[in-house]
């Protein structure tokens, strides 16, 4: 540990098996960044964090010479940097062997081609499963840009000001479950039922009914518990399993972009049941199939689409 500008600083190297497409990873995060809490700036990912009551600024970049990411924490939370190595590895999907994914999809000409076009594509994770589900609820039936705007408003209303140091674009810490559950969200920009769903979810996490950020998640139980909450549908559950719980076989099959992609590829796949059957051949890597399909659309459109 060292001092920089009067603040304690520590860093950690996070090795991975190549390839890793850092630019597409950052495009995904940048398009969905929680306003005031996280940002992507000059090929670097930043966010404010709290750990054991200590705050800090997380900075992650890709080493230009070696197959590793360098994660730096500045602030009091830096003393715990080794404790959240697992969370960082999950955030950037560093435990996956890309060769295994490629081998699994080699028999499928479509996915094999997509992997050749983006061989280092990973499934971006989440620093906080709670934050991810909040954003997912907010994003129901609105664009990625609109969801980002509304989440920024939530942070303004229920978040807490970050203790220095922080990046100019990350002056806030994301609201706690209890703070969000009790916040006044009148005129936040969401329908009343969605606000109820959001605060009902936050309350379930706050009172311990849903351990959304368990270190060793029981994915089956978490799926059932989350789905049982009012206003939470299968897409939200699968998307959360895919990113927060690192379920490599999660499949958000009701996603409109995925459904349209499958239909364009094979016009006979009209019914959801037919599409689900088609994806059986992609097990146990369907989350990666989803990412490649979303990425294909994003590459064509030149923007962050899907998820």
Supply the DSSP string of 64-94, one letter for each residue.
SSSSEEEEEEESGGGGGGGGGHHHHHHHTT-
- The predicted model scores a pTM of 0.94
pLDDT digits (tens, 9 = 90+) for 115-166: 999 999 999 999 999 999 999 999 888 888 888 899 999 999 999 999 989 9
Contacts of 254 (CB under 8 A, 6+ apart): 233, 234, 235, 272
Does residue 137 contact residue 194 with C-beta atoms inside 8 Å? yes
- pLDDT of 87-116, one tens digit each? 999 999 999 999 999 999 999 999 999 999
Residue-wise pLDDT tens digits, 204-226:
999 999 999 998 999 999 999 99
C-beta separation of 28 from 17 below 8 A: no
Q: pLDDT tens digits, residue range 235-265? A: 999 999 999 999 999 999 999 999 999 999 9
Query: In this predicted model, which residue has the larger pLDDT, 20 or 304?
Result: 20
**Mean pLDDT for all residues in the chain:** 94
Ordered DSSP codes for 142-156: S-HHHHHHHHHHHHH
158-176 confidence digits (pLDDT tens): 999 999 899 999 999 999 9
Domains observed in the chain = 2-96 (3.30.310.20), 129-162+172-243 (1.10.340.30)
* Model pLDDT, residue 302: 72
- The whole-number pLDDT of residue 3 equals 66
Of 97, 59, 102, 99, which is closest to residue 77 (Cα–Cα)?
A: 59
Could you give the residue numbers annotated as active site?
255
- pLDDT at res. 142: 84
């Amino acid at each position: 540990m060292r001092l920089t500008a009067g603040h304690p600083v520590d860093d950690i190297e996070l090795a991975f098996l190549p390839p890793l497409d850092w630019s597409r990873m950052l495009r995904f995060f940048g398009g969905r960044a929680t306003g005031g809490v996280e940002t992507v700036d000059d090929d670097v990912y930043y966010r404010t964090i709290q750990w054991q009551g200590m705050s800090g600024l997380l900075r992650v970049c890709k080493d230009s010479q070696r197959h590793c990411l360098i994660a730096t924490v500045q602030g009091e939370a830096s003393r715990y940097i080794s404790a959240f190595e697992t969370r960082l590895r999950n955030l950037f999907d560093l435990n996956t062997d890309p060769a295994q994914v490629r081998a699994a999809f080699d028999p499928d000409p479509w996915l094999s081609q997509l992997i050749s076009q983006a061989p280092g594509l990973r499934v971006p994770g989440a620093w906080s499963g709670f934050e991810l589900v909040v954003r997912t609820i907010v994003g129901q039936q609105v664009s990625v840009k609109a969801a980002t705007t509304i989440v920024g408003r939530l942070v303004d209303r229920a978040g807490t000001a970050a203790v220095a140091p922080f990046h100019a674009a990350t002056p806030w810490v994301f609201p706690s479950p209890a703070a969000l559950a009790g916040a006044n969200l009148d005129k936040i920009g969401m329908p009343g039922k969605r606000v109820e769903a959001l605060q009902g979810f936050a309350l379930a996490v706050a009172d311990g009914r849903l351990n959304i950020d368990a270190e060793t998640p029981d994915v089956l139980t978490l799926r059932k518990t989350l789905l049982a909450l009012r206003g939470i549908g299968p897409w939200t559950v699968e998307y959360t399993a895919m990113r927060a719980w690192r379920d490599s076989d999660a499949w958000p099959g009701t996603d409109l972009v995925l459904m349209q992609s499958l239909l364009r590829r094979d016009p006979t796949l009209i019914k959801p049941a037919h599409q689900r059957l088609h994806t059986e051949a992609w097990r146990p890597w369907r989350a990666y199939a989803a990412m490649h399909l979303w990425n294909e659309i994003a590459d064509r459109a030149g923007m962050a689409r899907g998820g």
